[in-house]
C-alpha cells in the first residue's frame, strides 16, 4: 500500500521543479550571450553583400543608360548616381579615371565602399564592361 501511495503522489507531482526551470533559463541566457555578437556580425556581412550587389547592378544599369541615351558619364556623374543607391550612412568613392562613353564602353578604374563601421571594400572596375572585381592591392 505504501508503494501504491508513493506512485499516486508521483503522478500528482508531474511537471518541472523550480530548479529545473532556473537551469534551463540560465543555459538559454548563456547561449544567447555567446551567439549574440556572431549574429550581429552575420547581419552586417549580409548588409554589406547586399550593398555591393546593388552597386554592381547599378554600374551595369549606368552602362546601359549611357548607351541607350547616347550620353557619356564622368566619374563624378557615376559617383553621384551610385551615392543614391547605397544606404545613407555608407560612403562611396569613384576613381577619377572611370569614364563611361556614350557607346557604353567603360575605361575602368576603382570604386571603394566604406561601411559605417569603418570597414572598406575596394573594387577594380574592368575596362569595357564595367564589371566589379575585388581589388588586388
Which of 83, 63, 85, 82 lies closest to 73 in space, CA to CA?
63
pLDDT-derived band of residue 8, with 50, 70 and 90 as boundaries?
Answer: low
Strand partners, 91: 114
Would residue 2 count as lying in a domain? no
Residue 109 burial (CB count, 10 A): 19
Distances (CA, A) of 3 to 7, 9, 95: 6, 10, 86
Would residue 119 count as lying in a domain? yes
Q: Higher confidence at residue 136 or residue 102?
A: 102
Domain total in the chain: 1
Would residue 71 count as lying in a domain? yes
pTM (whole model) above 0.75: no
Give the least confident one: 9-23, 28-42, 101-115. 9-23
Is residue 101 scored above 80 in pLDDT?
yes
Would residue 11 count as lying in a domain? no
Would residue 3 count as lying in a domain? no
Would residue 72 count as lying in a domain? yes
Residue 42: which domain range? 16-134
Residue 91 sits at φ, ψ, to 5 deg, of -135, 150
pLDDT at residue 70 in the model = 93
Average pLDDT value for residue range 106-114: 91
Is residue 115 scored above 80 in pLDDT?
yes
Average pLDDT, the chain: 87
Would residue 4 count as lying in a domain? no
Would residue 10 count as lying in a domain? no
Amino acid at each position: 500500500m505504501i508503494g501504491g501511495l508513493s506512485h499516486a503522489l508521483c503522478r500528482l507531482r508531474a511537471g518541472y521543479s523550480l530548479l529545473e526551470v532556473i537551469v534551463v533559463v540560465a543555459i538559454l541566457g548563456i547561449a544567447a550571450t555567446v551567439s549574440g555578437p556572431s549574429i550581429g556580425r552575420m547581419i552586417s556581412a549580409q548588409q554589406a553583400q547586399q550593398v555591393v550587389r546593388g552597386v554592381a547592378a547599378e554600374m551595369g544599369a549606368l552602362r546601359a543608360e549611357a548607351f541607350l541615351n547616347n550620353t557619356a558619364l564622368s566619374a563624378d556623374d557615376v559617383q553621384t548616381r551610385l551615392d543614391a543607391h547605397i544606404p545613407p550612412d555608407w560612403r562611396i568613392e569613384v576613381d577619377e579615371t572611370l569614364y563611361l562613353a556614350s557607346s557604353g564602353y567603360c575605361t575602368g578604374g576603382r570604386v571603394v565602399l566604406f561601411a559605417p563601421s569603418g570597414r572598406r571594400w575596394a573594387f577594380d572596375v574592368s575596362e569595357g564592361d564595367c564589371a566589379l572585381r575585388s581589388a588586388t592591392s
